[in-house]
Amino acid sequence: MLELNPYSHVFHNDPYPTYKYLRDEAPLYRNDELGFWALSRHDDVETAFKDFETYSNAEGVALEALDSEVRKVMFILAMDPPLQKKVRRLVSNVFTPRRVIEMEPKVRQLSRQYLEEIIAKGTGECDYIEDFAGRVPMDVISEMIGVPVEDRDMVRGWANRMMDRADGSPEIPRHAMEASMNILVYFQDMVKNRRIHPGEDDLTTAVLNAEVDGEKLSDQDITAFLFLMSVAGNETTTKLLGNALYWTTVFPEQLNKVQTDPNLIPEWVEETLRFDNSSQILYRTVTRDVEMHGKTMRKGDRIALLVGSANRDERFFSNPDVYDIGRDCNGTMSFGRGVHFCLGASLARLEGRICLEEVLNYFDSWDLKMDQLVRIHNSNVRGFLNMPMTFSAKQQSL
């Protein structure tokens, strides 16, 4: 039987053959060595997302066991209803349709600023992730929570180092732990400062003033919330933007589609989310014995929901291994389902659309240096850490 090892760098480089094998041969897979089950088919993953009472979030979304301190840091990712609903209601105020729409001018301004800086260097080269795709999402989320401009690259660097994992090992490397602590300490200090000097319209101040069941959140809760926002709000969109450029390089006829008809850019975002989404695997804990596909999971067992596999399931999508901008992507699992549906989905889609619009506005053509691309290696997230490229700028952008 083919092994699913979520810590393997070989698996990270191309998980899709493994996913297909599991869908066909082991739809409920067991890894005894690492101690988890895995669901790979679309309908099974969707069912598990929706049944939060059976598939609990209380132990977090990573395979690694959470101690009490780490669980606090995971904040809403390590909660189930009813508390999760109350906190989610508070957090959802950040991502109302009106607030997200209001972010559009800022996202566009930042996109143009960084693309103009890239072009102004005059080299015709850049690192698409470092110089653009990693900066815009971090600046947007930083703007929302009130991180000063001069600190944003520093926080982004910590977030990147926090995600890195060694090949085949479930252990968190020292540099990743240090980066996590740096982010925590930074936001602890920020919360303390905001209590003394409230901001005018930043999210940190708003959360400081909010209440759940008539009580204000503790400094620890707010620090955990900011930690989650800074990492999740950055990583998902950064990887989306990188994957979008990568796959239109591999399939240039798809790039021609959006260059010919920019109205297809939202579909470019959606197909990238389906075909090669940022959040590949999310874990749950089974709260009761469950029999499925002739096997029995026991109460307390950990189970991986293979989101990346669900999005490529031929039982649900036709020709799922074909990257086809404009296809019907309804049913994509990339932002989850049910009570844990990603609150930042609308913002991620907005950022993806605007950033890719501006890339097409500023760049006439580009070539990725395929032999120099660097993937991030993480058991949950898939995407690129570095993406060197050459480009030709459009004349009006010079």
Cβ neighbour number for residue 58 with a 10 Å cutoff:
17
**CATH classification of the domain holding 130:** 1.10.630.10
pLDDT of residue 69: 46
**How far is it, in rounded angstroms, from Cα 313 to Cα 21?**
11
pTM for this structure?
0.89
pLDDT of residue 136: 95
28: in domain: yes
Query: What would you report as the CA-atom Rg of the chain, rounded to the nearest whole angstrom?
Result: 21
Secondary structure letter of residue 381 according to DSSP:
B
pLDDT of residue 176: 79
DSSP strand E in 106-258: where? 125-127, 211-212, 215-216
2: in domain: no
4: in domain: no
**Mean pLDDT by 10-residue block, N- to C-terminus, for the chain (398 residues)?**
89 96 98 96 96 87 59 49 59 72 93 97 96 94 88 87 71 80 90 84 77 75 81 84 97 97 97 95 94 96 97 97 97 86 86 97 96 90 94 75
**How far is it, in rounded angstroms, from Cα 392 to Cα 13?**
29
- CA-CA-CA-CA torsion for 208, 212, 216, 217, nearest 10 degrees? -70
pLDDT of residue 68: 46
3: in domain: no
309: in domain: yes
Tell me how many domains the chain contains: 1
378: in domain: yes
**How far is it, in rounded angstroms, from Cα 206 to Cα 198?**
9
